[in-house]
Amino acid sequence: MKGTIIKRFCILAGRVSAGFRRVRFLREDRGDAMVEMALCISLLGMPLLVGTVEMGSLFYTSIEVSNAAHAGAMYGMISSTFAANSSGIITAAQSEASDLGSGMTVTPTVYYACSGSIGGMQYSTQSAASSACTGSSNHSLEFIQVITTASIKPPIHCPGLPTTFSLVGTSVMEVEE
């Protein structure tokens, strides 16, 4: 009988020590790094992702506004007749940025400059430019300038950033004769 009591006690002690081993296993810090990484990703990763989406959308729309100005100037540079056709320039620019719709403003301007100083004085008429451009190698040139502007609201508003952004695209080309 004494042997059976000792045997039972040893079996019971073995079960208790196995239970303590399980509790001790739960106290170890093997999964702490994974929990800390999950918290860091949720606290830092989401704002980073949201900011990336917002800036990507802003850059895409900025490129679209610039391309619209370029398309309008390409239409106007074909000839003096096309450069004078403001509605055609506006239509060409707006069709290039069709997803902006009527939210984009297109402003075409025709001006003249002397070939000797293209970046210099700008004249509103060809006669004024021709009289100002003196010399054998200096003559008047016609230019078309298209400015596109659009105010956009980003898809996601981040605190600290403005709620609307004003984007501007400009393109200048010489009108072919």
Residue 157 domain-assigned? yes
Q: Total domain count for the chain?
A: 1
Residue 87 domain-assigned? yes
**Amino acid in the structure at residue 137:** S
* Residue 51 near residue 161, CB atoms below 8 Å: no
Alpha helix positions (H), 77-133: 80-84, 86-96, 126-132
* Residue 140 near residue 118, CB atoms below 8 Å: no
Residue 8 domain-assigned? no
Check pLDDT > 90 for residue 169.
yes
- The model's pLDDT over 57-95, given as tens digits with 9 standing for 90+, comes to 889 999 999 999 999 999 999 999 999 999 999 999 999
Q: What is the pLDDT of residue 26?
A: 52
Domain of 137 in residue numbering reads as 51-174
Q: What does the alpha-carbon distance between residue 65 and residue 96 come to, in Å, rounded to a whole number?
A: 9
Check pLDDT > 70 for residue 22.
no
- The model's pLDDT over 133-152, given as tens digits with 9 standing for 90+, comes to 887 788 889 999 999 999 98
Q: What are 168's two structure tokens? A: 């501007």
Q: What does the alpha-carbon distance between residue 112 and residue 56 come to, in Å, rounded to a whole number?
A: 38
Residue 149 domain-assigned? yes
Residue 89 domain-assigned? yes
Q: Using alpha carbons, select from 114, 107, 121 the residue that is nearest to residue 172.
A: 107
Residue 153 domain-assigned? yes
